[in-house]
Amino acid sequence: MLQDPNIAASTAVSVGAPSGGALATSAGPSVEAPAVRRTPPTAFQRAARNPSVIFGGFVVLAMIIVGIFAPMLSSISPTDINPVARNKAPGFERTVRNDKGEPVKLTYHMGTDTLGRDVYSRVLYGARVSIMIGITVALLSINIGLLIGLVSGFIRWLDPIVMRIMDGLMAIPAILLAIALVSLFPRGVIESTWLSLFLPAVPRGLDTVILAITVPEIPRVVRLVRSVVLTVREEPYVEAAITVGTPTWKLLWRHVLPNTIAPLIVQGTFICASAILIEATLSFLGIGIPPETPTWGNIMAEGRSVFRLFQHSILYPGILLGLTVLAVNILGDGLRDTLDPKMAKRF
């Protein structure tokens, strides 16, 4: 079949020409656009995109701010007893006179308890104590467990001895340990020892509760750190460092310790939530913080006898306790998803 040469030439030009209209010659060099390499997002950027981290971090930060600024957020002392205003409903108003004789209107936003104390003020101050206990227990258990886990996982002959001791500690329930410590130190560990010279402002019984909750949490941290150390110890770069004679402390500091940071952060959030809940349980049972110190557990314990008639004494501290524990657990789940390399691709 014959074809017009003009048509054939125009077809060849249209096929060989690029989209911009310039003709590509076979002799000319081919120019390729440089490939754009995307830098992977950092852990902080992934956390900022995770809704669980955002929600949990916001609620926890709000509770910390409430605890710190409790004296500014409340105009009524949480320890003031007024039998005339006992068991009042939320929104109750009362007019008193200050030191200058001027009338001052007081509003009880969450009502009063059986002794006439302001529930709103006690809930705010209770946030300070409960969150302080949760953070302190998490820090103590992580630091002590990290040290024991590193030594136990890296030194083979010491591992069986340490793990049997940890198994024995895990068999002790926190409540029974708290009862034993309270009976041994009724005024608190610090007040009963020479440590009161250095820490005189610790509320009575607070150190006992912290110690009772920390001891059962340490074996869990030790097991977590030990599992990470056993995995990292078999890596080729660790074996190479051992071959060239690197000291043990330098191996643990440079190669093993960085691999334990991510799981410890997640474990710390769960320990904090568990400590807050255990403290409330101990105070509710009457073996935790003394009743004169406002905590969420103490407030609910004092209001349980009149709960059917005056629900506000338990409702408000219970809501804040549940919200705080839920937020800390959600924050821990979000951090786990963010710091886990397998889950980080979703964010």
**Predicted local distance difference test score (pLDDT) of residue 181:** 75
Instruction: Kindly compute the dihedral angle of the four CA atoms of residues 119, 122, 128, 131, in this order, to the nearest 10 degrees.
Output: -50
Helix (H) or strand (E) holding 125: helix 119-154
Tokens of 269: 């959030």
Q: DSSP code of 2? A: -
Q: Do 208 and 225 form a contact (C-beta atoms < 8 A)?
A: no
The Cα 70–Cα 295 span in angstroms is 13
Q: Do 118 and 108 form a contact (C-beta atoms < 8 A)?
A: yes
Average pLDDT, the chain: 77
Q: Is 103 helix (H, G, I), strand (E, B) or coil?
A: strand
Place of tokens 């190479």: 240
**pLDDT tens-place values along the chain, 347 residues long:** 444 555 444 444 444 444 444 444 444 555 555 555 666 666 667 767 788 888 888 999 999 998 888 888 887 888 888 888 888 888 887 777 776 767 778 788 888 888 888 888 889 988 888 888 889 899 999 999 999 988 888 788 888 898 888 888 888 877 787 777 777 776 665 555 544 444 445 566 777 888 888 888 899 899 988 888 888 777 777 777 777 777 777 777 777 787 788 888 888 888 998 888 888 888 888 777 777 788 888 888 888 878 788 888 888 888 999 999 999 988 888 887 777 655 555 54
E strands in 11-158: 92-97, 103-108
3-state secondary structure labels for all residues of 55-75: HHHHHHHHHHHHHHCHHHHCC
